[in-house]
Structure formats: C-alpha cells, structure tokens
A and B are shown apart, each in its own frame.
Chain A
C-alpha cells in the first residue's frame, strides 16, 4: 500500500525551536540580518537527504522540509487558548484575503489571458488559494490534537562575541522550557556556537570552546564560523518565509508579520522574493548550509531514526496478540488509563527528558502519545510502511490518523472514507473555530499531497466537505479551490456550482472583488456547454443549431442578478445596468403549471425585482453620468411587438364584409371582364394623400409585471431607391405612454398621414422602455423558406425579408358609395326592400362607367325606371320565355342619370334605386362591389359597400300533389300556407304557378283575408297539361347528352340549354302583380337559380359547380313552382316567396341506356380506389337524379259510387263500378290488362270491422292500350249478396310500357300493380224494403 518516497507538505516537516542568546540576537540585528530561525529557515527544504527505515533500508528523500522557529514565540503561542487562536487565525486569513484580492484578480486574469492557449493557468494555483495555503502551512504553534508542530529539536545558539559563551550556553540549557504539559517533551537538544570573524575569541579559542561544549553537552553541538562582514554585503534573495499569525491581537496592529512588511505586491510572489534577502556573503551561506546539512544528517535524522526504531519495537510488542486482546478489552470496558507500556529509557545522551509516557487520551492535557509521535516521525522520515501501520492502528483505536492516511495511501475508495472520517471526527473533538481551522489544515495538506487530483475519489469533494457550512472566507476559498480543481478535471458544471457556493459565502464576508470574480466564473462555466457525444444527426433531425438548446431557465438570471447587484454596490453602475437589462428576457413561464401556491408567484416576483433593479440602476446611471450618458450598448433583450401581426388599416377597410365574399366578387368581376377587355382591377389597399391610415401594432407584455412604454411611434421609410424622400413627407402619430398589464396583449393603432404619393415602408417601431431606455424593434419579418431548387431544399434559404408597405396615391379616381339610411334592417322572409344607394365622385377625375358586382346568391334588382313597375297584367295567365340557364348573374352596369355629360364628373352624385329580396333567413350581409374607371382602356378601381340585415320568418308554404280523383284534373295539388311569424298578420295577395308543362286552375277561390299568426290556409289546385303541343325533347336531349358525356368521362362542352316557355297561371281572379315586369322576371330567375344550384350541389357532389350551367337547365320541363305574393298592410311591406313544387308526370328512365352503357364499359383501372369510388358515386347520383326518373305511368282510380239501396227480397244486387285507368306518361303508350278476382279471405290488419270482399261478375278481364296522357273508363259489375260495405279491390293491373316500332309493339317496362292497403275504396249497399 505504501508509496515510495513521496514529498510531504512542508508543514509536516520536523519543527525545530531555536533559542538564541541575547548577544547573538544583537549581533544579527546589527548586521541587518533577520533572527536566526529565519536565517536557518531559508535553507529549508534540504535537498537529497537519505534516511533509513527501521529495517535499515535507505530512503532517499529529494527534499526534506525543516521548520525553524523561535522558542519563545512557540512558548507564548502555546499559552494562548486554542479556540481563541483558531478564531484569530481565521479572521487573520480573511483580512489578508480581503485586503489583497483585488490585486490578485487583476494579476490572475492577466496570467490567465496570457496562458489561455496552453491551459497552464488552470494548472497553477490561484493566488488566493496560495495565500490560504501559506497561512495555514505557516502555522507552527503546537496543537493539542496533533504532534506535527511539537518541537522535535531545540537549538541553543550562542555567539562568541561575549566573553564567556560557555556560561551563556549553560544559562540557556538551564532555562526551563515553558511549554504547557501537553507539549511533547521528547526532543533533541542541540548547541550551536556562532563564531563571527570579528569575535574577541580567536579561532583556536573558539575550537577550545567547542570542545568544552562537546564535552559538556554531548556531540550534538556545532561551531559555526561566519565572516559576517560589516557593513553587510548586498542581500541574497531567499524564499519569503511563510506568513505567521501575529502573536497577539495588539501586535497585529503594531508589528505586522514579516511577509506583511513586504511591499504591497506580496501577492506577486516573484516580486516579493526579490525583496526578501539575506545580507550574507557566499562563504557564510555555504557555512550555514553545511551546518544545516550536518545538523540534519548527523543529528536530527539519526536521532529520529533511533526514536522510530525504539518506539516501533514498543508498538509491535503491544500489537502482538495478547496485548491487542488486552487493549481491545480495555476499550470495551472503558478503562481510560493508558496501558503500562514499557518505558524505554531512550539512551539518547542529550535528551534530558525521558520519552513521554504513552497516553491513551491525547487531547486531555497530556502530550501526544508515543504511537502518534512514532507515526509522525516515521512519516517525516519517509519510512512509510510502519508509518501507515501505526496510523491505521491509531485510526482503529479512534484516535485520529485518518487525516494523514490519504497522504500516504495510494488512491482508492478507502481514502475517501478516511477523509470523511477525519472530517467527522473533528466535530466530536473540537469547537467551532478550531474545528474549522483543523478541517482547513487537513484540506490544505491533502491538496498539497501528491496525486491529489488524479485520485478517482474526487479530491475536489474533500475540499467541499472540509468547507462544510463554514461561512468564513477560508471555507469559501476551499469551495473555490474545489471548483478550480473540478475545472481541471473537466467537470465544468460542478465547478460552476462550487464557484456559486463560494461566491455566496464570500459575499457575506463582504469580499466583493472575489465574489464578483467567482460569480463570473460560475456564469462562464455554466454557459460553456460541455462536449456532447451526440450524433450530428441528432441536431439535424430536430432542425436546430448545436448550441441553440435551451438551458435551465433559472440559473443565468440568478447569477446575473447577483452579479448586477454586486456591480451596483461596487459602483460599476454601467455594468450593473447591462446585467439587469440582460435579465429582462421574456419569462417563459413555469415549465409545469404550478400546483403549489408557493411556486406560483416566483416569476412575478422575479420580474418585479429585475424591473425595479433595472429602473433604479438605470436612473442612477443616467443621473450620474450626465452628458456622457449613452445607451448605444444597452439593448433590451425582450421584444414587445409582433411584426407578423402588424397590419395597415386604410379608411376604406372599415366597410366590413366577409373577405371570402369580397374575394369571390373580385373573381366574378375578373371572369366577367376577361371576355370584354384586358383592363385590370386595382385592388383596394392604397392610401390616399392627405388622408390618415393606421398601422395596427400588436403589443404583448412578456413580463409578469406591469411595464410602461412611452414615446411609442413607428419608423417610416421611403422607397429604398427614392432620392427625394424626407421624413417631413409623413406625419406619424406618437403615443405619449402606454401601460401594459402583466402578460397583456393589445392592439395599438398609430395614424400615419402622407403628403405625397409615395410607397412607404413601416420598418421599425420605437419606444422608450419604462420611459428610460430608448428601444427600437424591427417590424421586418423573414421571408418564407424557399423550396424550389435542391440547393434550397437542402439548405435553409429564405425569400427576401418582408416589410410592411403602404402605397399612397393621389385621390384621382375615387368613388364613394353609401346607403341612404344606415338604420338596422329587419326584413321578413321574401320581402322586397326598396333601398337607395348614394354614389358620389369624391376624386378629382371624372368617372366613365360604374359596374355593380353582387354576391352569387344575392337577389337584388337595380331599378332603372319606375314606370314598368306599375304595369299589371290583367290576364289569368301569362307566358314568358326563359333562357333556362343556370349561369350566374353578370355585373350590372349602372346607368348615369340622363344629363348632357356622359360621364360622372368630380363632385357629382346620384342615387341608385335598389331592391333587395330577402331570400335567406337569419343574419345576412349584403356585400356590393362597385368597379369604376375613367374611360375606355383604363384600369378599374373598386369601392366596397356592405350592409347587415336580419331576415325573420313570416310564411311557410308547402305544396302536396296527387293524381286527380276525377276526370277533370290530371293532378290535384294543395298549397298550404301558414303564418309562422309571432305577431304579424299577413295577407296572401296573389298565387302564381309557373310551369313549362302544367296549367293550373284553382279549385276554390283564394282566401283574401289576412292570415293571423299561426293561422294557416289551404288552396287546392287542379293541374292539367298545358294546351297546345309542347315538345321538350330538345331540353331532355340536351341533359341526357350532357350526362352521357359525364358518364363516359368525356369533357362537357360549354353549350347552354335551349330556352323554354314558361306558363304562369294566376290563381286569383284579380291579380295585382304581373310576372312579366323585368324586376320580377329577374327575381324569379335568381330565386329559381338559387334553389336549383343548391339542390345540384347537394345531389351531384362530384360534378364541379362551375359546369352545372352547361349540364342542367334552370327549369325541368315538368316542374311546377308557385310564387306566393304577400303583403303586410300594417307595415306597408310586401314580398314574395318562391315554392319549388317538384316534377309531375311519369318518366321512363331516360338515362338508363347511358348508365348501362357506362357500367358495361370496359373498366379503366385507376390506381386510386378513391377515383373509382368517385366514379361510382357520380353514376349513382345520376341514376337517382330526376332526369332518370322511372315509374309505372298507368294508375287506376276507383270512382266510388254512391250508396246503393236495394231490395234484396227480389234479386241479388248488381252494382256497376267505374274504374278509370290513366296513362300519365307524356311520351310512351302503355298496354294494360286489368284482371278482377273475388277475394276470399281478406285480411284486416287494422282490426276494424272487416269489409266484405268484392265478388265481381260479368267481364272480369279488360285489355287495352292507352296513348300518352290518355285515359279510359272501365265499368265492371260487383255482385252484392246482401247489405254490406264491399271493398272495391281484388283487381290486378298489368302494364306494359312500350313503343311502337316498325316491327310492332316493343315493350320497354312491365309493371304489376295491386290495390293499396292504405286506401281501400268501398261501396255501401243498403237493404231497403219495398214500400
């Protein structure tokens, strides 16, 4: 285990006390020489000393440290209370550090800066640690706890300057040692005679004296002849003696220690060494060196070897089994007395005192035990094997020893255990100050020991443990040294922690320069991220920079805040302001939501403190620095404004409206105008000269504290290449102050007014943070990331930065559009509201033409002249031709009022009458866009107009249909109108039916009275085909052709459906409205179009709405719509609602062939299942559409006869029954076969009284052919056997729809129809008795 020849710390060298005679002291001081111990100390350590172990093996020691001291000083020191002394030592060290640290830091930083490259600075000791170390190692007062400082030898020194040196020497020898009882009295006594050249004694006399001394005091004597010329020669530099604690508190003030006497640059050790010197000649130096070597090698070392040998013999004998047993028994049974070890009378001739008896308890006022002295001597002599054994034994006996073992043992975990044990025993044996000092001493020794840092047991931690919780500077410096060592071991993060702890402790002692330095170190080490063994792909995968990873959020603010406060208190206000400013980073908030209330306010508290400190320091800086005050290097790390949300708001933007609606209107216009010209539409978004626009800034307070920003404004720049731009061209609003609540987000508008047409760039926002610090934030945002080329995709390339730009133009072309009244509009469903739009030319140029663009579903009409409105048709029916197209309405050109000027001059204005039809319920917004231009060939400008209105329900109308029950009407229909408004009574003033095919006639007259709320009225209507021949084949062919194209996947051409004639039947006799006014026609068209467009969009999901007009017509030839005109006389409102009734008449699957063909078509494989699904979905939608309707066209109507009265006493009753067969098909003839059969067991699921089954007689089978729309009446006979109710069913109708071809009849469809269970017509036969 033991290592070979390790250099011990100098503080563990043998301690030699020197007592000089007065004459010698006078002689030395007269020659400007220090006292003798100090002269001798200059020769320590002694190089190349060889000692011998107990086994007589020579141990070469490269350096043998010696410590010489004045005996009187040591005696005095021993008398002082140890605790008091320890306290004084700590204060003394603290004071030394405090007074010098500023200089040290300067020097150290210089050294470090010079040595950064080769990292040497880390390898040298820091000056403050050197100071602590030297102070601790310089301690030479014997301690009660250890024997290192107990004197090993006492040198009695006399000079031959006096007449009788022998007597003086005798007096010295006779002087009793004034040590307390606990100081070891085992020491070597040595006599030294200094013989100067100018001595009254001759050399011979001196030799005779020496011989006499040898005779009297033994061989441990020496005659030292010295030249000692006067005046003394120039000083020879020698190492500075270690600093020593001044003996008493008084002397601290009066006579500082020798090292403190040196000039201020004590810290710069090299400079100090030059100053400290011995004024001795070379020969004298050689003489003294010879003496010291002789003293050590001839006397001290042999004497110590002898002691070690003897004591080791004792030790080994006591460690033999019986005595070990005995000693452990003694330990067990608590005997406090020492074991009666055989006291060896050391045959040292000069040692007058015997060896002290071996005491079991060392600190109890008795000298150190022999074992301990043995261990110490063996350690000093480098005889490590017995030394280690004895230390181990001591440790096991619970008497220290652990503190030395770390120096002797090779690194192992056990060493750490020894360290912690050594430190923990201190607590039990010492009071606070002395314990702290002892821990410090141990730490210093360990640190000085060899291989301290390389130990795997982490020597830096030993220093931290030694520092424990002591709050004095030495403890702090222990931590700092631990940090320093950690840095050398590349444990930077731990080093940062130790530096922080050190700084925190030093701060309490008020040593600010070092505190600041340590905090800086902690910050610097924390910021330095350690090398990570991570793959570069790790960073690539996350797309972030290697160094961009975030760290602990609390550490830097904590360190920087402490630093800032320290700088502030030390007067470095600018630095403090910079640090406080750097603290004002946006707080990211707690990583996890705080659950504990004590956690929550931390950020608030911190932000408040940071802000307050910044405010204070900045104000102070501003006040004190006067005219030199500059803020160029102070930039606020937090940002308040979000450039991405910055918007420019122009006066015209306040119109409102849905941006999607505006966009759609612009699209309508673009599409419309594309066919007419190439003039473009200037989008709105330009400001006008001398008209304010606003920059909306979104400000967010990132702090958890209230802040105020003053002098808030935006920085406006002209175009980059503009030469005549001056800031005077623009007036920008400046806000005096805004106060933001914690974490508040607010939008702040700033008005800007330009005086000339120019393109402005809003580049920055400037403000004064807390009304103190001017700050500027850029409103420029980075352009999008480019992905176009491989280079751009593989690297990060961005488009140019985006700046908020505003174009300011002259207001030449400007139109103002406003509604006449701005009241809130509440309309009833279907109401036609007369409105007026006021158009005025507010620009400086005339306007050539104005167009109105409305929304796709808006129903409105611009009245050109009112005369047409009055025209009312007196006819019962009207017809008009519809283009039957679903194309949307095109923009409408607003005619100017008829004046001599064909254009619209500046300043002129006129009103546009405008009728709005409220076709949708709920909150609506009418968005109108007016486009205008000066004249042909010029581009268009636009102005927007929007208006909110609410539409409330008024009437609900439902239309039901059925086949006509009589011969008069082919179909009957019932219109049910219900007033669903809460309180308004309404009059249905007119009902008009619209159909290309059907002509309608009212079955009853229209109720002209008003409908009260929740009241309903019904109007039955009969329908018949319109008179005259109307062939809609072209329409059908159009649709079938287009849909066939779709089914085949062929493109659809842009042809439109053929026009169609619509018949309008007025249901009431005195119509008050005509259909054929242009406004009404337009409303009808728009209304019908909206309905059909919505239906188609829902039905044909996969056919693009844009091509619907090229596939489907507006009116199905068989459709029927009803328009309901209403009036609310009380409010003077009127309106109409369009009820889309449906399609009447039978059809025969016009698309079946095409569908079948499409299905049978060779399936084109698509790699996407979705395409396949879409295709089949298109097919299904077409199959289910009304254009492919298919049904049984022939229906059987039983005309119920009246009650039959019959006298059954005579004959059985034969009831003739009328059955009507009607072919509803408009295109195809049908063959029918009606079979009548008497039912035997009619079931009666309803549980009512069962009706009697019919029994048909006579002709039971009827056959025939019905042409389209033809009907026939059959009259079978029913046999009633008695009075009863006979159902008129039991028939079965077979229908064959077909067509006549050249080959004859070709059946297309067959149908079989049976009586319905729901509707069972019956005949009642009543028996009468003949009168």
Chain B
C-alpha cells in the first residue's frame, strides 16, 4: 500500500514530495461511492494506467498479493495529476470548512485524497488507498510541526523546496509510524 505526500505552497508550488510504501495491510476503502463502482473491462488491454486509475487495479493488487505497484516510474505524472486535480476540491472545501484536517476530501478511483491546510494556507496532500483517518491526522500534525520548524529558517521562503535531510528523515519516520 503506497502513500504519496505533497507539500504545496499557497501558490501551489510543490515544496516537498514523498512516496511511502506502507507495510501495514491495506484496508479497503469503505466508500459507497467509489468502492462499489462497477469494475468492468471488455478490453484485453491491461496497461499500467488502468492499474493506476481504474478500480480493477484493486483486484489486481489482491491477486498479486498486494505487491508494490505505482512507485516512481513513468506514471509519476499521473499521481501528480491526481494531487493537482484534488486541489480544486480542497480549495472548495477550505472555503466552507474551517478545519485544518480535511479527511478523504476527494476520491479518484482507488486513490483517496486527504488534505491538511495550515493557517498559512500551506496544503499537505496525501494520496492513500486505505482508510486510516486517525493515523493520517497524526501524521499530518507531525508533518505540520516539522514544516513549522523548517519555516523558522530565515532563508526558507514560501517557494523554496524543502531539501533538508533532517526534515525528510523525520517525515519518513513519521510516515512509518502512522501510515
């Protein structure tokens, strides 16, 4: 089960991204909207993109024993597109919702998008497959704290990517802990 984290500045500049492969068992998303959608394919094609974007990949993953799919590779842009597309909904939700943690704000086929919008309008976007609201909330809180520490650096701007190795290591550790 993989997770994709993106930290986006108020101008939607990606400052940091992380792909995390969780060892925890995948918990199928119990969504009436997407999980129960039909999964048909009359085509003999079963390309990577279908595995990515279609619900049929859930079947594939289970038959392959939940092996690693979707890491880097050529389809990185699709994951990034999903994160980018989710910003539309996140911005809409932020306008009517005051909370920072927007759980399961959007769904794209098997990808559930959870988001965390800081008071400074930084957006943390997490693409995940399972349902793990509490873990994701804790993860976001820790990332927020780490991010705030990063911004204490006077040389950090809202547009500069976060390249700190310490930040990266801590986010990874937090991901291992909570996701």
Instruction: Digitize B86-126: 1 where CB-to-A-CB distance is under 8 Å, 0 elsewhere.
Output: 11110100000000000000001100000000000100000
Query: Could you tell me if B37 and A90 are in contact, using CB atoms closer than 8 angstroms?
Result: no
Contacts of B16 in A (CB 8 A): 591-592
Minimum CB distance partner of B72 in chain A: A602
Contact of A552 among B14, B38, B47, B163 (CB under 8 A): B14
A496 sits at the interface (CB 8 A): yes
Which residues from 464 to 479 on chain A have a C-beta closer than 8 Å to any C-beta of chain B? 465, 468-472
Query: Could you tell me if A468 and B39 are in contact, using CB atoms closer than 8 angstroms?
Result: yes
Instruction: Digitize B1-42: 1 where CB-to-A-CB distance is under 8 Å, 0 elsewhere.
Output: 000001001111111111101000000000011101111111
B78 sits at the interface (CB 8 A): yes
Q: How far is the CA of A542 from the CA of B13 in the complex (A)?
A: 13
Minimum CB distance partner of A594 in chain B: B72
B150 sits at the interface (CB 8 A): no
Minimum CB distance partner of A546 in chain B: B11
Query: Could you tell me if A558 and B78 are in contact, using CB atoms closer than 8 angstroms?
Result: yes
A424/B36 contact (C-beta < 8 A), A469-B41, A552-B84 known: yes
Contacts of B37 in A (CB 8 A): 420, 423-424, 465, 468
Which residues from 416 to 475 on chain A have a C-beta closer than 8 Å to any C-beta of chain B? 416-417, 420, 423-424, 426-427, 432-433, 435-436, 439, 465, 468-472
Q: How far is the CA of A1322 from the CA of B79 in the complex (A)?
A: 98
* Chain B CB within 10 Å, residue with most, of A494, A522, A538, A600: A494
Stretch at the interface among A38-46, A497-505, A936-944, A1100-1108: A497-505
Contact of A420 among B33, B121, B163 (CB under 8 A): B33
Instruction: Digitize A519-555: 1 where CB-to-B-CB distance is under 8 Å, 0 elsewhere.
Output: 0001000100110101000110110100001111111
A557 sits at the interface (CB 8 A): yes
Q: How far is the CA of A534 from the CA of B47 in the complex (A)?
A: 40
Q: How far is the CA of A554 from the CA of B77 in the complex (A)?
A: 5
Instruction: Digitize A650-665: 1 where CB-to-B-CB distance is under 8 Å, 0 elsewhere.
Output: 0000000000000000
A427/B38 contact (C-beta < 8 A), A532-B10, A554-B80 known: yes
Query: Could you tell me if A591 and B84 are in contact, using CB atoms closer than 8 angstroms?
Result: no
* Chain A CB within 10 Å, residue with most, of B39, B50, B76, B81: B81
A343 sits at the interface (CB 8 A): no
Minimum CB distance partner of B34 in chain A: A465
Q: How far is the CA of A417 from the CA of B32 in the complex (A)?
A: 8
A427/B39 contact (C-beta < 8 A), A538-B158, A557-B77 known: yes
Contact of B14 among A417, A435, A471, A551 (CB under 8 A): A551
Q: How far is the CA of A471 from the CA of B51 in the complex (A)?
A: 12
Query: Could you tell me if B159 and A542 are in contact, using CB atoms closer than 8 angstroms?
Result: yes
Contacts of B155 in A (CB 8 A): none
Query: Could you tell me if A471 and B45 are in contact, using CB atoms closer than 8 angstroms?
Result: yes
**Interface size class of chain B, counting residues whose CB lies under 8 Å from the partner chain:** 35 or more
Minimum CB distance partner of B79 in chain A: A554
A471/B41 contact (C-beta < 8 A), A493-B84, A555-B77, A558-B76 known: yes
Min distance, Cβ B76 to any Cβ of chain A, angstroms:
4
Query: Could you tell me if B55 and A472 are in contact, using CB atoms closer than 8 angstroms?
Result: no
A472/B43 contact (C-beta < 8 A), A465-B33, A534-B10, A549-B13 known: yes
A493/B87 contact (C-beta < 8 A), A416-B33, A469-B55, A500-B81 known: yes
Query: Could you tell me if A550 and B13 are in contact, using CB atoms closer than 8 angstroms?
Result: yes
B172 sits at the interface (CB 8 A): yes
B73 sits at the interface (CB 8 A): yes
Q: How far is the CA of A606 from the CA of B108 in the complex (A)?
A: 25
Contacts of B10 in A (CB 8 A): 532, 534, 538
B136 sits at the interface (CB 8 A): no
Q: How far is the CA of A522 from the CA of B85 in the complex (A)?
A: 11
A500/B36 contact (C-beta < 8 A), A469-B41, A596-B19, A599-B71 known: no
A538/B11 contact (C-beta < 8 A), A554-B80, A559-B77, A598-B71 known: yes
Query: Could you tell me if A469 and B40 are in contact, using CB atoms closer than 8 angstroms?
Result: yes
Q: How far is the CA of A468 from the CA of B163 in the complex (A)?
A: 38
Query: Could you tell me if B40 and A470 are in contact, using CB atoms closer than 8 angstroms?
Result: yes
Min distance, Cβ A563 to any Cβ of chain B, angstroms:
12
Min distance, Cβ B77 to any Cβ of chain A, angstroms:
3
A87 sits at the interface (CB 8 A): yes
Contact of A599 among B19, B40, B108, B121 (CB under 8 A): B19
Contact of B172 among A486, A529, A595, A601 (CB under 8 A): A595
Q: How far is the CA of A744 from the CA of B33 in the complex (A)?
A: 51
B61 sits at the interface (CB 8 A): no
Query: Could you tell me if B36 and A435 are in contact, using CB atoms closer than 8 angstroms?
Result: no
Min distance, Cβ A174 to any Cβ of chain B, angstroms:
43
A8 sits at the interface (CB 8 A): no
Contacts of A554 in B (CB 8 A): 76-77, 79-80
Q: How far is the CA of A439 from the CA of B55 in the complex (A)?
A: 15
Contacts of B146 in A (CB 8 A): none
Contact of A433 among B42, B71, B159 (CB under 8 A): B42
Min distance, Cβ A1106 to any Cβ of chain B, angstroms:
37
Query: Could you tell me if B85 and A494 are in contact, using CB atoms closer than 8 angstroms?
Result: yes
Min distance, Cβ B110 to any Cβ of chain A, angstroms:
10
A785 sits at the interface (CB 8 A): no
Q: How far is the CA of A436 from the CA of B76 in the complex (A)?
A: 29
Instruction: Digitize A579-620: 1 where CB-to-B-CB distance is under 8 Å, 0 elsewhere.
Output: 000000000000111111011111001100000000000000
A598/B68 contact (C-beta < 8 A), A420-B33, A534-B11, A557-B77 known: yes
Minimum CB distance partner of A90 in chain B: B42
Contacts of A595 in B (CB 8 A): 172
Q: How far is the CA of A1227 from the CA of B140 in the complex (A)?
A: 83
B138 sits at the interface (CB 8 A): no
Min distance, Cβ A586 to any Cβ of chain B, angstroms:
15
Contact of A436 among B36, B40, B168 (CB under 8 A): B40
Min distance, Cβ A461 to any Cβ of chain B, angstroms:
8
Q: How far is the CA of A36 from the CA of B160 in the complex (A)?
A: 72
Minimum CB distance partner of A544 in chain B: B159
16 contacts between A and B (CB under 8 A): A424-B36, A472-B42, A493-B88, A494-B86, A497-B81, A504-B47, A505-B49, A532-B10, A534-B121, A541-B158, A552-B77, A558-B77, A558-B81, A591-B17, A591-B163, A596-B19
For the complex of A and B, 7 pairs with smallest distance between CB atoms: A558-B77, A469-B54, A602-B72, A497-B85, A471-B43, A552-B80, A427-B38
Q: A552-B6, A591-B163 provided; 15 other pairs, C-beta below 8 A?
A: A87-B42, A424-B37, A468-B40, A493-B84, A493-B85, A494-B85, A494-B88, A508-B45, A526-B81, A539-B11, A544-B159, A549-B11, A558-B77, A592-B17, A600-B72
User: Could you tell me which B residues sit within 8 Å of A by CB distance?
Assistant: 6, 9-19, 21, 32-34, 36-43, 45, 47, 49-50, 53-56, 68, 71-89, 91, 108-109, 121, 157-159, 161-163, 165, 168, 171-172
